[in-house]
Amino acid sequence: MVNYKDLGLVNTREMFKRAVAGGYAIPAFNFNTMEQMQAIVMAAVETKSPVIMQVSKGARNYANGTILRNLAKGAVEYAKELGCEHPEIVLHLDHGDTFELCKECIDNGFSSVMIDGSHLPYEENIALAKKVVDYAHQFDVTVEAELGVLAGVEDEVSAAESHYTKPEEVIDFSTRTGCDSLAISIGTSHGAHKFTPEQCTLVNGVLVPPPLAFDILHEIEKKLPGFPIVLHGSSSVPMDEVNTINQYGGHLEAAIGIPEEQLREASKSAVCKINIDSDSRLAMTAAIRKHLAEHPGDFDPRQYLKPARENMKKMYIHKIVNVLGSDGKLAQC
């Protein structure tokens, strides 16, 4: 058994309380590689932001759970080395789909887990989430559960259609499961293709997707005042990165994300955790494609991973400062 406290990690409880009260959101960035971890830590330290480093089941399959846990431990030490005496770093399981997977992560140094039973019938979702909460809380690990279904594909999670969260269910669900935060579905979705061009309106040459269902978010906030709400599928799919990828040999068609103004608005509400994965993938791929196209003789991975890391760091800082507003929000610097 490895307890996250021994690794210098924190759970989400205090940071969410402050985020909801302060009208900002904590970034939850997915990671699979050392370069992503370094870029996340550099960005969090430079901006003095708390940060959630999250690992999906696919990331564990790719990189190995033990290695990822040690990367998170290294992240805490690295943040201190970079001059941040009291970093607030959460190691979170993204989209845990079974009790066994959540337990394994809790037993191996994760400070927070998501149990995603959103595809199950309501009562089964409650029973599964409650079982995870009962286990996790013994070790002061926080639990995110989900109500409503997001469309899109992400690692091993996929759904063809979204179903918005029903506000009338949230009190019963959060009370009976005892979860610490609730992921809701209000129109975001996983991946880099969140909307078809047909669903969008052309404004000044830019395809603008339909707005998120803020009415549902506000109804949920009224039912659960001060309760931490989570938004998955919140990449904005920056056009400059998509254009770079396409300019240097890629082929990404109709990649459309969530406009940043909408995420900025959501951050000011009870939404206190915003999940971003695809934007990091795009930033990394764009930088690697550009570097290799401009330097065809390079074959040392450090030559193209360095600009990739820089580009991700720039993107993370932009999200923290200009979209989520979590800069300068560490309890102690």
Residues designated catalytic: 94
Note whether 15 and 121 are within 8 A (CB).
no
Query: CB-wise, 267 or 275, nearer to ligand 13P?
Result: 275
Beta strands in the chain (DSSP E): 26-30, 51-56, 89-96, 112-115, 142-147, 151-154, 157-159, 181-184, 189-190, 201-203, 206-208, 229-231, 271-276
Q: With binding defined as CB under 6 A, does residue 276 bind ligand 13P?
A: yes
CA dihedral 89, 95, 100, 106 (to 10 degrees): 10
Contacts of ligand 13P in 187-226 (CB under 6 A): 190-191
Q: Which of 262, 275, 285, 326 binds ligand 13P (CB under 6 A)?
A: 275
We find the least distance from the C-beta atom of residue 279 to ligand 13P, in angstroms, to be 6
Among the listed ranges 66-74, 78-86, 205-213, 272-280, the one in contact with ligand 13P (CB under 6 A) is 272-280
Between 75 and 93, CB nearer to ligand 13P: 93
Site string for ligand 13P, 289-328 (x = CB under 6 A): ----------------------------------------
Binding mask 113-152 for ligand 13P (x = CB under 6 A): ----------------------------------------
**Tokens at residue 171, please?**
């009190």
Question: Segment 219-258, which members bind ligand 13P (CB under 6 A)?
Answer: 232-235
Cβ proximity to ligand 13P: between 238 and 330 the closer is: 238
Cα 36 from Cα 15, distance rounded (Å): 22
Q: Does 285 bind ligand 13P (CB under 6 A)?
A: no
User: Tell me, what DSSP letter sits at residue 8?
Assistant: T
Give the containing element (helix H, strand E) for 267: helix 260-267
CA 93 – CA 306 distance, rounded (Å): 27
Sheet holding 151-154, edge to edge: 157-159, 151-154, 189-190
| Min CB(31)–ligand 13P separation in Å | 11
Residues that bind ligand 13P (CB under 6 A): 30, 94-95, 154, 190-191, 232-235, 275-279
